[in-house]
Amino acid sequence: MASSSLRSSSLLPWLAIAALVIVADQFTKTLILGWFQLGDSRSVTSFFNLVRVHNTGAAFSFLAGASGWQRWFFVGLGAAAAVFIVWLLRSHGGQRLFATALALILGGALGNVVDRLLHGYVVDFIQVHYGGWYFPSFNVADSAITIGAALLILDELRRVRRSG
């Protein structure tokens, strides 16, 4: 029983990080939904705009033009990923960099799942551009997923370097 209690307590910090990502993501999206109409854009700097975009697809609007089935596909994929990530966190919660990466990805994935369940699309609002080139709009959840993926790569590079 003590082993199970120890495992769940080591899981709590990582779930807290994921929850913070979800809260920050949903809070910022709520602000955008309240202040912007679909398609609105406000320049913040010469390379950064706040916009309101609805993405029915995945990264870079992948499958956005599909007939609607993609909403439930991505909800299911996000839920399956969340279960897998929690399982990994239970097994590897002591590996701080790895677990931090997973917690960020978990929070980001669930933040976007919440959007799909509530709205049928993901609210994107961060737009970076330079010299007429525009990177696809994204949000806090996407940022957390990207940072988490970068940390996974860093963790693996450090692991390989230590073993070699």
Q: How far, in Å, are 55, 59, 65, 74, 146 from residue 62 at the CA level?
A: 9, 6, 8, 11, 16
Nearest to 148 by CA among 17, 13, 50, 7: 17
Residue corresponding to tokens 């970076």? 128
Catalytically active residues are 124, 142
Q: Is the dihedral of CA 44, 46, 52, 54 positive or negative?
A: negative
Say which DSSP state 60 is in: G
Q: List strands edge to edge, sheet with 122-130.
A: 41-43, 48-55, 122-130, 133-134
Q: How far is residue 144 from each of residues 22, 99, 112, 126, measured CA to CA in Å?
A: 10, 13, 11, 13
> 121 near 54, Cβ under 8 Å?
yes
